[in-house]
Amino acid sequence: MRVLVQGAGVAGLTAAFELATRGAAVTVAEARHALGGNASWFAGGMLAPWCERESAEQPVLDLGRDAADWWDAATPGQVTRAGTMVVAAPRDNGELERFASRTSGHRRVDEDEIALLEPDLAGRFRRGLLFPDEAHLDPRQAMAALHDRLADKGVEFHFGADASAVSGFDRQIDCTGMAAGDDRLRGVRGEMLILNTPDVSLSRPVRLLHPRFPLYVVPRTDHRFMVGATMIESQSTGPVTARSMMELLSAACALHPAFGEAEIVETGVGVRPAFSDNLPRVEARGNTVTINGLYRHGFLLAPAMARQAAELVFNQDKSMELANETDRQRQSA
């Protein structure tokens, strides 16, 4: 079976992997000229379904639970399994209690254990939560690794390609996000920074809770830290605003004052495609299967969506049942 995957964001790459693994001849067409520039490129890369459950519905936990295993198998060496640390300033301890009561899969950590796990945060926070089963990856490295793995498997990539110009496929998978033009989708703008400082070391993503400016810092290689991310009901792709930058930076400095001397090596803006329930959909229409609405859970939920899409492609009889998988899980949640 010959399958065309449109879009080389996290949804497209994971779908291509699932299809190629099942023996399809896969071609990936991406309108951009290289990997990157899409919402996935600006993602945090946290595989944190337990933390996300604080504001997301149950399917995000159910569908995201196996994501770290999937990435580990598909891109060996990319996943760091060190959990997630959640802290709050003493004044915002109420936020910590609220977070703890809305989530599972965590244990309390005190000042000593925080110091043991993250020595640079020693003495800064008295109480926190550790989500030991969570993981993270660097989205850009993981996408590049997946791309290479796919190329090894014989998947063809066409960058800068108009998908309508390529033809002769049995099935198509549309993974183009906002560009799919689905009027049920809305864009949720996210702004992020990449900071560089040798003065801080973190072993795992740290979330700093705040009633209005919650923030996460994800450590990357070479003293880099991804700081994110705003959630604004807008699909503007314009540059990061002064207010967002100020909020992100002041929260980062509240986590550790040494971030004040860090270099801002990049600012980025991504627009997350979301349906009104903020849950993703895999849908089949004719010869096309669509994966969309990954919202802020691209790396977390793309593997599960890719599997569903691949099964749809290979088993049309079950199509209706599987197309409604997400809805059913939401209703039973």
Residues that bind another protein (CB under 8 A): 55-57, 98, 101-102, 185-187, 189, 211-212, 232-238, 241, 243, 274, 276-279
252, 259 contact by CB (below 8 A) = yes
- Give the shortest CB-232-to-another protein separation in angstroms: 5
Residue nearer to another protein on the CB measure, 278 or 292: 278
- Give the shortest CB-192-to-another protein separation in angstroms: 16
Residue nearer to another protein on the CB measure, 243 or 285: 243
Structure tokens at 331: 């209703």
Residue nearer to another protein on the CB measure, 252 or 312: 252
Residue nearer to another protein on the CB measure, 235 or 324: 235
- Give the shortest CB-207-to-another protein separation in angstroms: 16
* β-sheet bridge partners, residue 224: 196
- Give the shortest CB-187-to-another protein separation in angstroms: 7
- Give the shortest CB-276-to-another protein separation in angstroms: 4
- Give the shortest CB-102-to-another protein separation in angstroms: 6
Residue nearer to another protein on the CB measure, 212 or 317: 212
Residue nearer to another protein on the CB measure, 115 or 232: 232
Can you tell me the distance from the alpha carbon of 31 to that of 126, in angstroms, rounded to the nearest whole number?
A: 49
